[in-house]
Amino acid sequence: MSKPRIAIFDFTSCEGCELNKLNFENELLDILELVDIVEWREAMDDKAEEYDIAFVEGSISTPSCVERIHKIRRKAKILVALGSCAVFGGINHLKNMRPTDAVREDVYGDQKYLFPTIPVMPLKAVVKVDYEVRGCPMSSQEFLHLLKSLVLGRKPEIPDYAVCVECKLAENECVLDKGMFCLGPITRAGCGAICPSNSFYCTGCRGLISNPNQEGALDMLKEYGFSKNEALKRMELFCSSEVLIK
Amino acid sequence: MNKDLNIKVNHLTRVEGHGDIVVDMKQGILKKAQLEIVEAPRFFEAFLKDRNFHEAALITSRICGICSLGHQITSLKATEDALGLEVSEQTVLLRKLLIDGATFQSNILHALFLVTPDLLNVSSVFPLVKSHKDVVLAALRLKALANEIGDLISGRAIHPIRCIPGGFSKLPEVAELELLKHKLNTQGRDDLKFIVDVLSTLLGNMPDFTRETEYISLYQPSEYGLYDGTIKSSDAGEYPVSDYLSVTNEYIVSHSTAKHAKNKRSSYMVGALARFNNSYDLLSPGAKALAEKFSLSAPNYNPYMNTIAQVVEVVHCIDEAVDIIDTLLDRGIKDEEANQAPTRYGTGIGATEVPRGILFHEYTYNRKGIIEKANCIIPTGQNLANIDDDMKKLVPEIIKESKEEITHKLEMLVRAYDPCISCSVHMLNVKFEN
């Protein structure tokens, strides 16, 4: 049986998720035993006509992005959205919070029509996405788990519970009690609660759980001294595409 | 010679971000030779507006995955300047250690994973896994070690966590620092020596091209300036950081979603070679010895040698990192809280050397600690005009070579600058409505 062919692409993004893959210094050679990387513009010149698994980082934000992702979807048996920008829009999605014309004017002034742009979309708004690895940057351990599962033909186990669960398991002191803001109660676990473990707050970079009690979270944050406006604004930093309250 | 030449490289490989190389020569007259930045605009300045000071660094970090630490530190310095937040000596030392780690990581990634394939005539580092396994293993170990610095001191190498306004959210343990120092001194130096020996044999494959330009970098008289200093120009001497706008002079060009910059000439260069040229004397003895081994002396005007200057800097960064850890261990780690009590609300500027060159962040805060204005000038953006000027000189010089050879040399030229294209397009016009 031949090794699965994988290809890696990036759209509107910071390439941090891709870099995370090149950061598998110890595991990289093991990974290369399992799969063949047939296209990866950031690290290789090679191109491929089709692949078994396409890993795609970044959001869709220009007309040419739309065309390009359709091409990739056609050539790939499985498509994995890597990182929050690809999965749900992430920080890129903040651009949609103001009218497009106003944002373009701000940035380019009277040259705004020189550079085309469309409202930011996650990959799933344009093509069918088979699997997701959330996080900003994507969580490396989750990526490895997904890759191994796909290669072995097993269903990956991706958590859909709050970061608080992982934080408690790590026996962290709750950062809310230390006076900090925190979105742990409604953010998707899978990162090992890395930010609270570093005495920083959960910024919601992995997006919300599938059934978040957004009103409840705002009430709770109010008790800790954060006004509704302030809490919403902070929630929107990464999760603007998922926040339902205005 | 009445040659016609048409080159279009779509989405150059082995660089960060999306750029096209375009050359158009008709009847021996060079009509166009340029790097077209096609990366989608990111609109980060729109994201910074109306954000509070706790969030600025987390946002700007997301401009780029490779330079995230650099953006964070520069952003924090700008915020601290604007809000009158003093930081402790320990914080400065830890940040310098992080910058050494980030420079080490980025330079190794670039030199070994993105450029070395060209010197060995392969399309990527992956074929080398079979033919040069030891080299790949050493390169991977070096990269992992560099990332360990970031993971230890800032909680995560990509999009750091512990770096906050006024200091750190959490501090390293003494035992962790001792282990890191040991690894740097043993495995780090051994692997680097091995890599250097291999690279020395490949230097002959580096194209020989010279174009003197203006070199701009951060400068300190007492140390190789990466964290703090003035702006130094090889043409015009030193400027205070507050003059950064009049030194960079950004302007829009139609063939690039990123702006260009110029100072005394039509273009200038930033990055490892600029730092090397401007601050050679301040490199560690080990770094200077390596430069000599590579026959790299200051000033050097071959942009392809930027990659070699990066490797020289890796030695310096390891040397400095070990020194800093020694100082920290000597003094002991003080369990201090980050200073987050603003003493003023105004405009502040941060300037730091990130791997690709000098980076500027400027913010204006209102009384509620909310950003009203933001501006960033990115090193890669500052290099774009210089790349175009290099291409315009290079193409006629090598015109007798085959189209494949010319294309390859142009690709290598752009790669040599280690461009971070996503970074350069995030921020464009800096007009603000008041």
What confidence tier does A25 reach under pLDDT thresholds 50, 70, 90? low
Lookup: tokens for A202: 């959960």
Query: Is the peptide bond prior to B221 cis by the omega test (within 30 degrees of 0)?
Result: no
What's the DSSP call for residue B186? I
Query: Is the peptide bond prior to B299 cis by the omega test (within 30 degrees of 0)?
Result: yes
Length of chain B: 434
Q: What is the pLDDT of residues B29-86, one digit of tens each?
A: 889 999 888 777 777 877 888 899 999 999 999 998 988 999 999 999 999 999 999 9
Helix, strand or coil, per DSSP, at residue A241: coil
Q: Is A144 on the interface with B (CB under 8 A)?
A: no
Q: Measure the CA–CA gap between A46 and A108, rounded to whole angstroms.
A: 35
Of B16, B47, B169, the CB nearest to A42: B16
> CB distance B144–A25 less than 8 Å?
yes
Q: Measure the CA–CA gap between A110 and A133, rounded to whole angstroms.
A: 39
Lookup: tokens for B202: 């490949």
pLDDT at A28: 78
A51, A5 Cβ separation under 8 angstroms: yes
B264, B246 Cβ separation under 8 angstroms: no
Which of A131-140, A155-164, B244-253 shows the lowest mean pLDDT across its residues?
B244-253
| Backbone torsion region of residue B188, taken as left when φ is above 0, otherwise alpha when ψ lies between -120 and 50, otherwise beta | alpha
Lookup: tokens for B366: 């209102």
Does the ipTM exceed 0.90?
A: yes
Mutate to test the interface with B, among A67, A107, A108 (most CBs of B within 10 A): A107
> CB distance B159–A137 less than 8 Å?
yes
Q: What is the pLDDT of residues B106-122, one digit of tens each?
A: 999 999 988 999 999 99
> CB distance A106–B431 less than 8 Å?
yes
Q: Is A195 on the interface with B (CB under 8 A)?
A: yes
Tell me the CA end-to-end span of chain A in Å, nearest whole number. Answer: 53
pLDDT at A238: 96
- B261 closest CA partner among B395, B75, B428: B428
Lookup: tokens for B182: 């040991």
* Mean pLDDT, chain B, integer: 92
Helix, strand or coil, per DSSP, at residue B260: strand
What residues are paired with A80 via a beta bridge? A55, A131
Q: Measure the CA–CA gap between B130 and A33, rounded to whole angstroms.
A: 11
| Backbone torsion region of residue B278, taken as left when φ is above 0, otherwise alpha when ψ lies between -120 and 50, otherwise beta | alpha
> CB distance B43–A107 less than 8 Å?
yes
- B428 closest CA partner among B44, B172, B105: B44
Whether the pLDDT of residue A116 is over 80: the answer is no
Q: Measure the CA–CA gap between B240 and B263, rounded to whole angstroms.
A: 15
Mutate to test the interface with A, among B115, B129, B147, B158 (most CBs of A within 10 A): B158
Q: What is the pLDDT of residues B268-279, one digit of tens each?
A: 999 999 999 999
Residues in B closer than 8 angstroms to A9, CB to CB, are none
pLDDT at B434: 29
* Strand stretches in B2-75, DSSP E: 5-9, 19-26, 29-37
Which distant-in-sequence residues (6+ apart) come within 8 Å of B254 by Cβ?
A: A114
> CB distance A25–B16 less than 8 Å?
no
Q: Number of Cβ pairs closer than 8 Å across A and B?
A: 161
Helix, strand or coil, per DSSP, at residue A39: strand
Q: Measure the CA–CA gap between B17 and A18, rounded to whole angstroms.
A: 11
Of A92, A109, A203, the CB nearest to B431: A109
- Residue window 49-68, chain A: list those with CB within 8 Å of chain B: 61-62, 65
